[in-house]
Structures are given as C-alpha cells and as structure tokens.
A and B are shown apart, each in its own frame.
Chain A
Amino acid sequence: MTPDNAGYYHAAYVAAAVIYVGYAISLRVRLRRLGARVSQIVASNDQA
C-alpha cells in the first residue's frame, strides 16, 4: 500500500520556494540600497 506522506512533500516544496524567493528578494533589496547610495554620492558630488 502506498504510504500517505504528502505533508512532508508539501513542506519541502514550500521551504524550497521560500528560500529561493527570499534570497532573490534579499539580493533585490541590497541592490536597491546600493543604488540609493550611488544616487546620494553622485548628487553630493554634483553639488560640490
């Protein structure tokens, strides 16, 4: 008889999606922060 263990399989796929999407979002956030920093530096240099 085929065992009923779908919960583990669902948990694994949810965990994988959370890690991959979470990592991509963290990269996006870090890039945006750097982009903001660049704009700040360029603006301050233009003023000077």
Chain B
Amino acid sequence: MTDRIQHHGVDSLATSARGTDWILLSGFAALAAVYVRVIWFTPIEASQGSAQKILYVHATSAFVALYLAFALMAVASALYLWLRDETLDRVAESSAEVGLAFTTVVLITGPLWGKPIWGAWWTWDARLTATLFLWLLILGYLLMRGAIDDRAMRARFSAVLGLLTALLIPFIHLTVYLFRTMHPMPIVLKPSQPSMPPEMQWTFFPSFLALTLLFAGLLRARYRYATLRDAVLDMENAS
C-alpha cells in the first residue's frame, strides 16, 4: 500500500515535470525582448563601438551567477549543515549547476568583449583568474557529487565545498579595488549612482530582470529533476 502511494506521488511528479514550464518560457521570452531592445533600441557607445553592448549580457549574467546562484548555493549549504534537510541539498546542487551555466556565459562573452577593446582575449589578472577559478571549483563540486553514492555523505561534503567556494564571491567583487587589473571598475554595483546614461540603464536593468526570471525558471526545472531523480532512486532501492 505504502509503495503504491509512493509510486503515485512519483508518477504525478513525473507527469508535472513533463508539462509546460511557464516560468522558464517567460524567462526566455523576456530574454528575447531584451535582445530586441539591445539590438535595435540601445545606442552604440562612441569609444568602444558595438562591442560595448556585450555589457548587457556579460555583466548581468555575472550578477545572477555570483549574487543569486552561488549566494543561494552558499545559504542552502549552510542551512543543510544545520538542519540536515535533503531539500536544501537539492537547492544547493541545482543552484550550483544553473550558476555554472551563467558563469560559462560570463567566461565566453568576456573575452569576446576584451579582444576588440584590450587587444587580447584573456589576461591573467585577478578578476578574470578568480572567476575562472570559481568556474573550475563549481565544476569540481558537481563532479564530486556524481562520484559519491552515499546521499548523506555527498550532501555533507558538498555543503562544505559549496560554502568554501562561496568565499570567492566577495573576493571577486573586490578584486578590481584590491589589485591592478584591466577589468573596468563597477559601474552599477557601487556606493554611488550607476555611471551609465539613462538609455543604457533602461536596457541594463530589464536585462538583469530577464536573466533573473530565466534563472528562476532554470533553477525550478533543475530542482524538479533532482527531486524526481532521488525519488526514482528510492523506488529502485525499495523494489
């Protein structure tokens, strides 16, 4: 009887996972609208040319990765170590993987902006190197999760690694102040007003909101996947 109830719950979870994900679709629709705004309705900056428009996908993806995805991973990891609730482990895991996708965009669009402006695809300065290091650590975090079968041990190790990795977030933010770097100083996340003309702000902030919505959609889908995967494993172990 208990098995039947459990199977019914997992089956309905699987059915709902196959349905249309409106949050994710809204995120992509918002991103498409931002693309239209960037391409046709945002002015070209005089000194950098069209390449400056990379800002609207590069910096906003970085904001979402660092200050939403990896911050959430850190909070969920800390709470897991305290409460030992598997839900928190799944949130941390999902947030880390979605954050990795956003950081990948940052690491690809950055060199595409750097080449025409700095004359180099890459420099080993503090901001770029620390971001690459963070990407590698998150990749290692996800690979480590795949290598440990025991669920409680995997969650505990992941939570510790997730928390330690998140220490890089404030460091990455401060690198442009602490080190001599080619990366520009913050133009939005700083104590004073954003140093950006209003017509550029009208593209930048909607872009951030669109990517935040996309992050929410991807996180929800990834969390559903993790929940269903664990439920399937439980069913397989029970039968």
Contacts and interface: CB of A to CB of B under 8 A. Distances in A.
A39 B11 contact: yes
* Chain A binding surface, main DSSP class: helix
Given A20-B214, A38-B228, A45-B239, A5 B18 contact: no
B48 interface: yes
Contacts of B194: none
A12 to B, nearest CB: 4
Chain B at the A interface: mostly helix, strand, loop or mixed? helix
Interface residues of A, number: 31
B228 A31 contact: yes
A13 to B, nearest CB: 6
B25 to A, nearest CB: 10
Interface in A12-34: 12-13, 15-17, 19-21, 23-24, 27-28, 30-32, 34
Interface residues of B, number: 51
A11 B55 CA distance: 13
Contacts of B108: 12, 15-16, 19
B10 A16 contact: no
Q: Which 4 A-B pairs have the closest CB atoms?
A: A5-B116, A3-B49, A38-B14, A6-B50
Interface of B: 3, 7, 10-11, 13-15, 17-18, 24, 28, 31, 35, 38-39, 44, 46-51, 53-54, 57-58, 61, 98, 101, 104-105, 108-109, 112-113, 115-116, 214, 217-218, 221-222, 224-225, 228-229, 231-232, 235-236, 239
